[in-house]
Amino acid sequence: MPDRIFTEQKLAELYDHFNPWGGRSGDDEFYMEHILSSDSVLDVGCGTGLLLRKAREFGHSGRLVGLDPADAMLEIGRNSRSDIEWTYGVLESARFDQEFDLVMMSGHAFQVFISDGEVRGVLAAVRRALTAQGKFVFETRNPSARRWERWTPEHAIEIAHPAGGVARMEHQVDLPIDGDLVSFTTRFTAPTFDGVMESRSTLRFLDESGLNVFLAEAGFEIEAQYGFWDRSPVTETSPEIITVARPASA
């Protein structure tokens, strides 16, 4: 079950305003390069589908599929473009079979898979969905950079609300951290809300070696791993673990 932040229409409508195209330090451009060089693309946890919609605007003429279990997010994509396949649901129960040159998960969507069983389940489903020459591209936040330490009300983000006034989003993390799981509350205020809207989330922060064991077990080999969108290496302090993986050759 996705968090309320994605299933509540009023919150989903704000998503692209908090995360506009090109506003997140290079990830959009990184993914777009991969999308535009792939004939068939599955975006798992596509949310509002901004990347896929932009890919059409940039001239992608192949198959684009956006999958998400949050209807409020998917609806935004569906209402914007009809030349993209908008699929409601989770990948684990979708029946894709060697159909995609690229399976991707942006916006740290991979971190919603919390248990070992969920991680194994989603990787197996990605593997099934990919063609033999396909690639799986996704990122997860590097735990050693301890990003959650900045998820405090003092680091709230404020944006101009589309209906006027200011919308505000702040996080508060549950302490102490539970192993590699970080649970937190996100609070939103906006001129169109009656009061504060809250959403609870838990994300897993797998480290590079743990992640790579899961990938190998699922039959992937790693083509490249980066610590940031400029393709710099993963280090103790790099914010991301960005992975390009391919089905291992037999």
Ligand X SMILES: C[S@@+](CC[C@H](N)C(=O)[O-])C[C@H]1O[C@@H](n2cnc3c(N)ncnc32)[C@H](O)[C@@H]1O
Which C-beta is closer to ligand X: that of 70 or that of 102? 70
Interface pick for ligand X out of 13, 41, 53, 107 (rule CB under 6 A):
107
Q: Is 2 in the site for ligand X (CB under 6 A)?
A: yes
Q: Is 19 in the site for ligand X (CB under 6 A)?
A: yes
End-to-end CA distance of the chain: 36
Which C-beta is closer to ligand X: that of 119 or that of 211? 119
> Looking at 107-115, 160-168, 185-193, 215-223, which segment touches ligand X (CB under 6 A)?
107-115
List Cβ neighbours of 144 (8 Å cut-off, separation of 6 or more).
207, 236, 237
Interface pick for ligand X out of 14, 41, 52, 112 (rule CB under 6 A):
112
Q: Please list, residue by residue across 88-100, b when 16 or more beta carbons sit within 10 angstroms of its beta carbon and e when fewer do.
A: eebbeebebeebb
Which C-beta is closer to ligand X: that of 90 or that of 242? 90
List Cβ neighbours of 114 (8 Å cut-off, separation of 6 or more).
181, 202, 203, 204
Q: Is 41 in the site for ligand X (CB under 6 A)?
A: no
Amino acid found at 203? L
Binding marks (x or -) toward ligand X, 58..97, rule CB under 6 A?
----------xxx--x----------------xx------
Q: How many CA atoms lie within 13 A of 94 on its CB side?
A: 28
Measured on CA atoms in the order 22, 24, 27, 31, is the torsion positive or negative? Answer: negative
Rounded Cα distance between 88 and 158, Å, is: 30
> Looking at 103-111, 189-197, 206-214, 215-223, which segment touches ligand X (CB under 6 A)?
103-111
Q: What is the DSSP string of 103-133?
A: EEE-TTGGGG--SHHHHHHHHHHHHHHEEEE
Find the shortest distance in angstroms from Cβ 17 to ligand X. Answer: 12
Q: How many CA atoms lie within 13 A of 37 on its CB side?
A: 10
Which C-beta is closer to ligand X: that of 6 or that of 205? 6
> Looking at 44-52, 131-139, 211-219, 220-228, which segment touches ligand X (CB under 6 A)?
44-52
Which residues contribute to the site for ligand X (CB under 6 A)?
A: 2, 6, 19, 44-47, 68-70, 73, 90-91, 106-109, 112
